[in-house]
Structure 1
Amino acid sequence: MKPDDFEELFTNCADEPIRIPGAIQPHGVLLTLLEPELNIIQVSANVATLFNHAPEALLGQPLRALLDAESAAAVGSMVEHDNFIDAPPLHVTFNGATFNGMLHRHQGVLVLEFEPLLENFKPRALNGRTSDLGKMLQRLQSAKTLQVLYEISVTEIQAMTGYDRVLIYRFEDEGHGQVIAEASAPSMELFNGLFFPASDIPEQARELYRTNWLRIIPNAAYEPVPLLPRLRPDTGQPLDMSFATLRSVSPIHCQYMQNMGVLSSMSISLMKGDKLWGLISCGNREPLLVPSELRIACQTIGQVLSLQISAMEALDLSRQREEKVEALALLDQAMKASEENVFNGLAQQPQVLMDLTLSAGVAIIEDKQLLCYGNCPEPAQILALHTWLQESGEPVFSSHNLASVYPPATEFQQVASGVLAMSLPKPVDNGVLWFRPEVKESLNWCGNPEKLLALDNSGKGLRLRPSTSLEIWKVEMAGISTQWSHGDRFAANDLRRSALENDLARQVLREQQAVRARDELVAVVSHDLRNPMTVISMLCGMMQQAFSSDGPHTSRRISSAIDTMQQAAGRMNVLLEDLLDISKIEAGRYVVKPVALDVGQMFEEAYSLLAPLAMKKGIDLSFNAEPGLQIKGDPERMFQVLSNLIGNAIKFTPRLGHIGISAISNGENIVFSVRDSGEGIAPDQLPHVFDRYWTQTENNPTGSGLGLYITQGIIQAHGGEIVAESELGRGSEFRFTVPKVTRDPHS
């Protein structure tokens, strides 16, 4: 047989239609009903032998054709509710035998099941005693450790149900499972500690365990009983029996049970949140049907046990974290104390770093520097591994079988079969890699994990069947280190968080120092330049007196040059003042000294200064303010704001245009507006008008792009806001708010 054919059989096994087997186990009867009439549309074939009714005669008939009037009415009352948990028991008698009814609703159909009512079920005493639910829950609550909890659970469930073997099976991250607790009759083969391959419980079976707390097989040697008809008449599809107690199970699983020496089983799911954590698996050498009341009690136990496992695991995780706190604090202090960077700080505490994760070696990478402590791979191997880790994109990575995901690790697996690594998002290579050596050990498997299933050529074609040999199979594990615990991974993540915070604090400090140095440089340059510029302006004035613009041609040329020098010196002084303002704004040290200012007087001063500029272009300049308005403002800075906004408006408004300046009261603020009839600002540029160095290049050859940025800083320093609106061809409006002076009504 070709390997591809064998792989196909594995796939077919995993895809086996276990939810829609079209058959049930023979100890009970199943029928499906359509609401609201409760007409029977499917029935199991064994209704003839167990209930003495021909299945064909029941199809399409109301439920009362099978049940007595009282029982049919009871079912009718049950279906009026969304769930049937609180409904009274449904017991019916056929052929002298009493049956218990179970009802559930799924995919638009009611599924009604009947199984024998076992009123006198008494499990045999095990170890000299029996158990009950109340006492069992008390014993579970008394457990102080997880292992004691597991052992109490299996012992009590065995005493409660009478199964020959009860074990707890925990799923590992890799998919396979291990028996971690077991209570068995003396004659039973022991499985405690053994590993079982992941293929023993395929993924679709695990999904059923996740959605159903309980599954029971009273006799694995049964002959399935088909449903009649095979497909639902209402949908033409097979009946989904995911939640049916009587659902027929995979023949491969039945064979597996018999190979393990049991004919009856019950499985109780153990959940951690919405994830399947494990199973309580019960097995018996002889057929055994546990009453539904006892099964419900077992389901309750599974739910309580799941909660306790989750709670105790959470306490264990908390303990693991607490064990790391002291080492993490030492490493955090080392990173803070380092004068260079966080990784140099970690390098001062290599033993603490290794003890943090119980590793045998650690490597620290920072830019071109690689430092190794303890037992580590060769530097070239570490750098290659680090490159691969960076490409994976995981900020924290862990593996106790590195060669399985990174094949080059086979070259150094004796030193580093396990790796735990973390890195920071920086432009240079960086990270910490912890290494654990190979720990060779033998795992005891139940059967050969390399030969999980055999071929069965009996019957129609080839199919897979469980291997009949389940003897203990020892496998030597290579390339494996001790697993990284939750505490180890927590430590790596917390150390990374601490390193990020320290690294960010260093960056902020460096930037603050750079800003401070820049501010000092700007202040010194501005101060040192102001005096020479003042001298230049004075000398220009003196020279201007000597050369009249009305004199000869040479005098006129010299006079014009002196005017240009004076204008340049003036612009230089303005630019120096702007640079000082920007430095203060960006450092958050821009200070204003607000006093009560009369808005009308402010407008008069602005008009006297700026009206001549407007008149030169024939621009109509109007000021309008509500009478008596006063603001809290710095006189010099507020005049700077008005002169800047009105000056810009004059600059960009064409001849014979109009500029209106207004001020109105609005709550606790005064709203100022400077509106012009100029060319406007392009929509894509409008969001950037207050950016540093933004300037409108048209008709603005000398603009520095600092005026509006500083204006915004001044308004914000007063506790106000400034906004701009504009439309091409229709002009612009700048509005800003400043707190107004409120008068005491009693003054």
Structure 2
Amino acid sequence: MASEPIITARARTDADDNLIEAEEPLASFHLRAGGKLPGPIVTPALLELVRKARRSGKRLSRAIRAQDSQDRIATWVEVVPGRAGTIVNLSAWTVQDIPEPGRAADIDRLALVRHLAGLTARLDARQHLLAVDWTASDLDRVGEAMLTGVGQPWTDFVAIADNGGRSPVDWRMSDGARAEVSGSMRQWAVHLAPLGPGGTGSAGFELYLVPDQPLADDPPAPSRKPDRSAGIGRDIAPVLRQPVSRIIANAETIRSQLSGPLAEEYSNYAADIAAAGEHLLALIDDLTTLEMVEDEDFNPAPDHIDLADVARRAGGILGMRAKERGIILDFPKDAEKVPAIGEFRRTLQVLLNLVGNAIRYSPEGGQVWIRAVASGERAQVVVADQGEGLDADEQRRVFAKFERLGRSGDGGSGLGLYISRRLAEAMGGTLTVESARGQGARFTLDLPGGPDASG
């Protein structure tokens, strides 16, 4: 039977990423770090993970480190996104004294390992898998296998060099060893961080796989005609995403003044850096998706979905953004169901773009309506706003690539609606707009209806 991590503490956040409930010891740590209950999350690593889970709608887990004026803590965090925020589960909470200068090198080494790791896993005291997370694309195969094999020894999935195929009994035999991973041409170094009193691993381990070199770029396919723009998403995105993410994380650390007091103007400057980084990450994602939808071999994976449920999820994810501008989101009620055929992730992506635009262009204190309806053998979601609206010429241009209709300074790429229409069409649907100057806009996503859609 698979082992389960023992939950140390639970917490809950709202759609604004405020910590609204927290058990000990997280509650005391949060308060010592300058936070309030309820109030904004003040631990940057936790805030980053909560934001990522809420925006992606995916359950995420990883190890985080933080410190206040008294202690340096380490814990494994699992964030489960919900309709109105997230549930946070913490396990293996350990406390260390803030290291003296003589121990700083060991701490720095582990911090570097965490930064470079392509895969992170949480193990129990027997070195059996509890959870896994990875960022390296050449570890997709082993990462998926580990997720399926939770409860098994991690050595069932990673071949340690020169050990004759034996599973090590003592974790020290694996720490620092070289390893080969199925599906990856790179060599990997194994790093194990023991948890629990005295560093014995009595509370389990953190496993890190660190590559010996950066991931090589894929050579261009021989049949492909040379094109300066081809591969921009695939080639540039992996190179840019990690350093930009680090810039955002470091800027958030400075902005939150976790490392010490800071003049207000510098804190505001750090917030501007973080915001610019977020815009750049969004542009990177847009370019990656653009290349995907324009690939002649692109095919979504259609499935039976509930359009009303997808609409509710989009509204929940963007609730914080709407609240910041005093905008009310009116989305389908829990009991409403509208069966449709489409890929859940791509449909959610389209609705996030439509609802996000509606929030952006509605006046402060306004309202955005999201309606899901079945119409014969079709299923539809309508997103309506109270913005300035579009004239006939703007409606013809609004779905064009890089079209921003004269907008400037909002961080948009002009790709969102173009990509959304391509995704809708790839799923056998359409994306249309009805509008008039001064009367807002109504965007309609139309997809094939699912079973009982006409009833």
TM-score range, shorter chain: 0.3 to 0.5
Q: Report the structure, 1 or 2, having the larger helix content.
A: 1
TM-score (norm 1): 0.29
Higher relative contact order (CA 8 A, sep 6+): 2
